[in-house]
Amino acid sequence: RPVAPNHNNQRDALHQHVVHKGRASYEPNSIDGGWPKETPPAAQDGGFESYQERIDAHKIRQRSESFGDHFSQARLFFQSMSPTEQQHIIKAYSFELGKVEREAIRAREVNEILANIDLKLAAAVAANLGLPAPKAGTVKVKGSKLAASPALSQMNHPGVVGIKGRKIAVLLADGVDGGSVDRLVKALEAHSARILLLGPTSAPVKAADGKALPVDASMEGMPSIMFDGVLVPAGKAALDALGASGLAKHFLLEAYKHLKAIGFAKEGKVLVDALGLKEDKGLLLGDDQNAVDAFVKAVEGHRVWEREAAAESVPA
């Protein structure tokens, strides 16, 4: 409903007639001026109010034929994935079903659900669970008009170019090189990435020049799974502290295991070697512009898929 011509509160009108983009998506809340919130019918502009009308109809229980189709969309999704992504799905099903105690329930999921999605998927999961591979599904699934859609695959579909909005963790410890931190932050902010400085705790860290650097959170409070990439600035004392911290080492190994892009200042090679990692397209050394450009390219690709075989031996 359009805003009344005499409405003189532009801010209220904006909140009522556009999609809210604040941080809070619930009501009530104590930020964003209390928005979003419901506008009652009695308000000046009036919110939604049901129209009272008598109706005459027959109440029946009936569902369309398409309601019984539980598998065609899942089949389209799986068959649209690249081989790497399909393996991730197989591993995920194997992991979750491996926690099911009763074998009969595992078998029912494989034979009555996965087999109706894709026999390749069902056979691979069955092998990981020690079950016989099903030879056919239990229902007839109507084929989709599309055999596969490249747009559904993160690897096959190029997606949006750039790293706008991607979350990058910068790991800090006492003795960090403040200049290196500034260079990295400014370079990535130029790409509209979201940078968070993480310390051993939520307390500020002391840079090599003696200045206190506030942090956004601790590594423990915001683990690597919450980020698209990780950066480790220069500063020998800070690198030594990170190398002696089980929390920091787990953060980095987990990021590597999950194929995230990781950038170290050149002197961070000592830490890379101590972790038993090897440089690749997404594990980079340097905090100059060339290194930042390579890091941005790696984050843009979502994951460093070429690393997957090497990551199998990483304890994270």
CATH number of 71-152: 1.20.1370.20
- Predicted confidence (pLDDT) per residue in 202-225, tens digit: 999 999 999 999 999 999 999 999
Do 71-152 and 167-311 have matching folds? no
- Which one, of 270, 261, 251, 253, lies nearest residue 199 by Cα? 251
Residue ranges covered by each domain of the chain: 10-43, 71-152, 167-311
- Predicted confidence (pLDDT) per residue in 128-182, tens digit: 999 999 999 888 877 667 788 888 888 776 556 789 999 999 999 999 999 999 9
b/e string for 120-139 if b means 16 or more Cβ within 10 A?
ebbbbbbeebebeebeebee
What confidence tier does 281 reach under pLDDT thresholds 50, 70, 90? very high
- Which one, of 210, 209, 256, lies nearest residue 229 by Cα? 256
Q: Which CATH entry fits the domain spanning 167-311: 3.40.50.880, 3.30.160.250, 3.20.20.140, 1.10.10.10? A: 3.40.50.880
- E-strand stretches of 32-111: none
Q: Give the global pTM.
A: 0.73
